[in-house]
Chains A and B, each alone.
Chain A
């Protein structure tokens, strides 16, 4: 028998932390996989890469990636990442976090970081609920979806994250599902090479906590839903990209250039100090 060769991406993972805690079929592992694939394809210097996450199942990602990373308190990864980026603008700062973390408790950080165009890259694992704490309804839970706190069906209108990001001023906005692994990886690569506040929403299966209450007991059933419902419409109006059970519009929505905050800040400092 030949010696088993190791996975080509395992060098990007902290071996001692593997296997990860995510459930069978959880999309978080696919997001992590696509992210490290993008880092590998771009040959990014790991000494220049910082990954920050908040609290939640997806928040564990910061601990799994073999680079400088920080697992912040709930809702605060963007605040922490802002500090890192402004202290050292040469670093590539990526936030990987959940829908609850980024858009419920951390919603204000998100809109203002986007408005100021701070050069951090945000990947949101949107699994439509608070996975880690047992499946409560959150800001992206679809109307009529069942969760532990909406046992009769959700009556709150969800955020349309790509619309929110675009309206707040993000210079790159895309949405993919965990089934679009190639396009997601390409999008991550694109965003890592771009300046400014960039955002990717990844619609992700949480079969254990969300799916099983919504007639999708397995990851496969959730992925089949994505396959059936998703439709690629590049640069369509993000305002019309609400996710419904029948329709998940995916693609790139925004790709513009705008001076980023850290550049304006350092220019202004130079101006004042001379």
Chain B
């Protein structure tokens, strides 16, 4: 396919893809699976661990895929996951 230069944002080299810091509070998870199922980037999957409540909390597959939409933070009924942007002064 021919390169469509006109489609490339002019400030593309300057804009940095924000890096996500995903926090999973493992023992607070009740294993509903909502964050795993509804993450648009498929960043999470069920882990093998068994937490204090006897369920498998999620684990991160690839944090680089995360776009910090924070859907997981909002859809979690148990306040067990949240995402913040990594401070990247020196570049991540």
B50 within 8 A of A: no
A265 proximal to B (CB < 8 A): no
- Residue in B23, B34, B71 whose CB lies within 8 Å of A223: B34
Interface residues of B in 49-79 (CB under 8 A from A): 55, 71, 73-79
Question: Chain B residues with Cβ under 8 A from A8's Cβ?
Answer: 73, 82, 84
Q: What residues of B have a CB within 8 angstroms of the CB of A7 in the complex?
A: 23, 25, 79, 82
- B79 touching A33, Cβ below 8 Å: yes
**Cβ distance B58 to chain A, nearest Cβ, rounded Å:** 13
Task: Collect the chain B residues with CB atoms within 8 Å of residue A50's CB.
Answer: none
For the complex, give the distance between the alpha carbons of A179 and B32 in Å: 13
Interface range on chain B: under 10, 10 to 19, 20 to 34, or 35 or more? Answer: 20 to 34
> Within residues 35 to 52 of chain B, which ones have a CB less than 8 A from any CB in chain A?
37-38
CB of A63 closer than 8 Å to a CB of B: no
Q: Let me know if A223 and B38 touch, CB within 8 A.
A: yes
Q: Which residues of B contact A218 (CB under 8 A)?
A: 32-33
Inter-chain CB contacts under 8 Å: number: 73
Interface string of A219-254 (1 = CB under 8 A from B): 110010000000000000000000000000000000
Residue of A nearest to B36 (CB): A220
Q: Tell me the complex Cα distance, A30–B72, Å.
A: 11
Asked whether any CB of chain B lies closer than 8 Å to the CB of A269, the reply is no
Is A27 in contact with B74, judged by CB distance below 8 angstroms? no
Is B30 close to A, CB under 8 A? yes
* Distance (whole angstroms) from the CB of A202 to the closest CB of chain B: 12
Contact (A30, B77) CB under 8 Å given A24-B30, A220-B37, A223-B37 = yes
Interface contact A24-B31, CB-CB below 8 Å: yes
A33 touches B76 (CB 8 A): yes
**Would you give the shortest CB distance from A262 to chain B, in whole angstroms?**
32
* Residues of chain A within 8 A of B73, CB atoms compared: 8
Residue pairs across A and B with Cβ atoms less than 8 A apart, 21 shown, are: A4-B25, A5-B23, A7-B82, A8-B84, A19-B78, A24-B31, A24-B32, A25-B34, A29-B77, A29-B79, A30-B34, A30-B74, A32-B77, A33-B77, A33-B79, A179-B75, A181-B71, A181-B74, A219-B33, A220-B34, A223-B37
